[in-house]
């Protein structure tokens, strides 16, 4: 199994997940505003605080009991606003030990931090002085963090991605310190995960560092890649779509919520540990994460439960609790593997992967194949802990399939690329099956798979020469024609008017609800009033006609009269359409 060094990852274990339990809906729907916006939530000491915004100048904080789901308090926070000035939500807030909340007020050029009691009363308001980083915009101050400090709190407010203003729980402005990056999340033990993103020429470098109250760094993972890569050329994995991060099972590593995917687990060293897809990718799973949900734990114990915001069964958004045991099982549970989801389950780790510089891994005739294992410089710290094991195999369906030697190589001491030894060039498809193994034991901890193709002599196949861009459902028109020419086959493109095929998209699915005559070149009744005559047909008089409620021929159009409908483009041209990350 390419990319799966541990077969238990794809071997049925006989567990009935419906009998496991461990997933509970705490609150069916946390939305309380008719035309508001859900922003985020926090959990602490058995309670959940949910922040909403009315899209103008009022926030609502609703507190729930995590044991019962009951509402404990509702706190309106009405900011002063002239009704005309620009508004924007902060998307972040913090909760004090006594249940008060800390909130930013940047409307109408203000630079205030508020502490608000559960009854809506402002306990204090502190103005942060302007400084050399102030540009006078709503988002000068953006992002907060809270560290427990003895009997009180230390609240941090970010500015311009450059400094952090620190205030006491009593509202005293303590100091302003350098603080590059933005807080992605805060772990249960108080460490803040700070994300940075730097561009140096054509190279982009991203890092995630955990810092404590004294801003001392700890856990560190990172990645870097070349900018402007051609379409279909892969890069090393990173937390591109992360919406929240907390500790993994038993407090180990990082558990990451990813938009429209689910939950991924990485070790403290960045090694990929496991994944739990939600119903965006696997309909058999018990929930669909809200696309902007944090992932939180109530407490620092290894068995502390997890909390996320999910799509409610009856609409709205629910608070869902997941026990630590269910999370630990599901992240390592066997997966149903197919070509559509294979890339979701594997990976060496953050900032580490198998790469080729050719789109879709296709090496044209005359181009020598090259595959590298790339590691961010942070991996240099783990060069003594792990090694890379790999094997290259050819298409097993041919009589003399290539089976390369299994090799073991060291990780680069300072990060970088390791060129892998490939078998002698021969036309066909190949797969590179790689795994990170522990140096001390030889045990595999994670795996990745990369497939590449060597074109036959005289073949014109070269996806790198195709026009830029992909269309929905496949290649764009020009790209599709070019690919057909490279493959030496014809191409055909048909567009359907779905607004005409299904005039009532809100109706129940029913073949009789489809206007079959709306298909291109379908039979249709003549419109006598328009002077149309019946076309000649080789069909016998007794041949059945397609059911019809139309009397006009279908249009071939890119537009659609059905709200939200999109035209379909069935194509006979195979090949790359949407590919790897751009």
Chain segment 444-488, per-residue pLDDT in tens: 999 999 999 999 999 999 999 988 766 655 667 788 888 888 988
Contact (Cβ atoms closer than 8 angstroms) between residue 523 and residue 546:
yes
Dihedral sign from CA coordinates of 13, 17, 19, 20? positive
Q: What is the pLDDT of residue 328?
A: 95
Report the distance separating Cα 43 and Cα 45, nearest Å. Answer: 7
Q: Is the pLDDT of residue 539 over 50?
A: no
Top pLDDT among 27 and 574 is at: 27
In the beta sheet, which residues pair with residue 137? none
Q: Is the pLDDT of residue 205 over 50?
A: yes
Same fold, 23-179 and 352-454: no
Q: What is the pLDDT of residues 133-185, one digit of tens each?
A: 999 888 899 999 999 876 679 999 999 999 999 999 999 999 999 999 999 99
Q: What is the pLDDT of residue 542?
A: 39
- pTM value is 0.83
Residue range 562-570: mean pLDDT, rounded: 38
Q: Is the pLDDT of residue 68 over 50?
A: yes
Share of the chain above pLDDT 90, in %: 67
Residue range 187-213: mean pLDDT, rounded: 95
What are the structural domain ranges in the chain?
23-179, 352-454
Q: What is the pLDDT of residues 215-249, one digit of tens each?
A: 999 999 999 999 988 888 999 999 999 999 999 99
Average pLDDT, the chain: 87
E-assigned strand segments in 339-478: 352-355, 362-363, 372-375, 386-394, 407-410, 416-419, 428-438, 444-454, 470-471, 474-475
Pairing of β 428-438 and β 386-394: antiparallel
In the beta sheet, which residues pair with residue 277? 262
Tokens coding 506: 């809100």
Topology (CATH level 3) of domain 23-179: Lipocalin (2.40.128)
Q: Is the pLDDT of residue 536 over 60?
A: no
Supply φ then ψ for residue 465, to 5 degrees: -90, 0
Supply φ then ψ for residue 224, to 5 degrees: -150, 150
Q: What is the pLDDT of residue 568?
A: 38
Helix (H, G, I), strand (E, B) or coil at 508: coil
Q: Is the pLDDT of residue 431 over 80?
A: yes
Among 1-15, 215-229, 288-302, 542-556, the minimum mean pLDDT is found in: 542-556
Q: What is the pLDDT of residues 245-278, one digit of tens each?
A: 999 998 899 999 999 999 999 999 999 999 999 9
Helix (H, G, I), strand (E, B) or coil at 481: helix
Q: Is the pLDDT of residue 537 over 60?
A: no
Q: What is the pLDDT of residue 433?
A: 96
Q: Is the pLDDT of residue 96 over 70?
A: yes
Q: Is the pLDDT of residue 211 over 80?
A: yes
Q: What is the pLDDT of residue 230?
A: 85
Q: What is the pLDDT of residues 335-392, one digit of tens each?
A: 888 877 888 888 999 999 999 999 999 999 999 999 999 999 999 999 999 999 999 9
CATH number of 352-454: 2.60.40.2550
Collect all residues with Cβ–Cβ distance below 8 Å to 322 and sequence separation of at least 6: 22, 23, 24, 305, 306, 307, 308
Q: What is the pLDDT of residue 521?
A: 76
Top pLDDT among 398 and 375 is at: 375
Q: Is the pLDDT of residue 40 over 80?
A: yes
Q: What is the pLDDT of residue 524?
A: 56
Per-residue confidence band for 531, with pLDDT thresholds at 50, 70 and 90? low
Per-residue confidence band for 565, with pLDDT thresholds at 50, 70 and 90? very low
With CA atoms as reference, report the closest residue to 27 among 80, 75, 77, 64: 64
């Amino acid at each position: 199994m390419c990319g799966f060094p541990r077969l238990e990852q794809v071997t049925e274990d006989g567990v009935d997940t419906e009998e496991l339990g461990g997933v509970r809906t705490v609150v069916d729907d946390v939305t309380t505003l008719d035309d508001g916006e859900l922003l985020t939530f926090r959990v602490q000491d058995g309670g959940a605080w949910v922040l909403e915004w009315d899209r103008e100048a009022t926030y609502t904080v609703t507190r729930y009991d995590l044991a019962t789901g009951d509402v404990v308090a509702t706190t309106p926070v009405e900011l002063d606003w002239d009704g005309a000035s620009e508004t924007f939500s902060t998307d972040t807030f913090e909760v004090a030990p006594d249940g008060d909340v800390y909130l930013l007020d940047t409307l109408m050029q203000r630079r205030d931090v508020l502490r608000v009691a559960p009854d809506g009363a402002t306990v204090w308001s502190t103005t942060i002085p302007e400084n050399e980083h102030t540009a006078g915009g709503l988002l000068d101050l953006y992002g907060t963090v809270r560290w427990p400090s003895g009997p009180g709190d230390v609240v941090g407010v970010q500015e311009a991605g450059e400094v952090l203003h620190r205030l006491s729980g009593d509202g005293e402005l303590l100091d302003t310190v350098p603080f590059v990056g933005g807080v992605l999340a805060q772990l249960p033990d108080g460490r803040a995960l700070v994300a940075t993103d730097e561009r140096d020429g054509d190279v982009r470098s991203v890092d995630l560092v955990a810092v404590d109250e004294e801003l001392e760094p700890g856990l560190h993972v990172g990645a870097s890649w070349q900018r402007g890569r051609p379409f279909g050329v892969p890069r090393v994995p990173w937390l591109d779509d992360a919406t929240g991060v907390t500790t993994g099972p038993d407090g180990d590593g990082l558990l990451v919520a990813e938009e429209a995917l689910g939950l991924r687990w990485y070790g403290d060293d960045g090694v990929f540990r496991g994944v739990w897809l939600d119903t965006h990718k696997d309909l058999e799973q018990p929930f669909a994460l809200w696309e902007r949900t944090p992932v939180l734990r109530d407490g620092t114990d290894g068995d502390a439960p997890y909390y996320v915001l999910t799509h409610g069964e009856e609409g709205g958004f629910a608070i869902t609790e997941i026990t630590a045991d269910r999370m630990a099982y599901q992240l390592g549970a066997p997966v149903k593997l197919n070509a559509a989801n294979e890339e979701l389950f594997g990976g060496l780790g953050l900032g580490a992967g198998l790469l080729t510089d050719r789109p879709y891994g296709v090496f044209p005739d005359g181009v020598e194949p090259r595959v590298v294992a790339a590691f961010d410089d942070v991996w240099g710290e783990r060069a003594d802990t792990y090694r890379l094991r790999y094997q290259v195999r050819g298409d097993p369906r041919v009589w003399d399939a290539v089976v390369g030697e299994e090799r073991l190589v060291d990780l680069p001491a300072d990060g970088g690329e390791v060129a892998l030894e490939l078998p002698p060039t021969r036309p066909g498809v190949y797969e590179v099956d790689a795994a990170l193994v522990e140096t001390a034991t030889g045990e595999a901890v994670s795996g990745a798979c990369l497939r590449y193709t060597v074109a036959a002599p005289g073949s014109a196949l070269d996806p790198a020469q195709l026009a830029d861009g992909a269309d929905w459902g496949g290649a764009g028109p020009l790209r599709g024609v070019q690919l057909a020419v490279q493959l030496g086959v014809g191409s055909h493109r048909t567009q359907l008017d779905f607004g005409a095929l299904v005039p009532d998209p809100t109706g129940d699915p029913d073949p009789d609800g489809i206007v079959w005559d709306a298909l291109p070149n379908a039979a249709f009744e003549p419109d006598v009033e328009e002077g149309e005559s019946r076309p000649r047909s080789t069909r016998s008089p007794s041949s059945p006609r397609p059911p019809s409620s139309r009397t006009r021929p279908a249009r071939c159009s890119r537009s659609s009269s059905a709200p939200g409908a999109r035209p379909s483009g069935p194509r006979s041209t195979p090949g790359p359409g949407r590919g790897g990350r751009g």
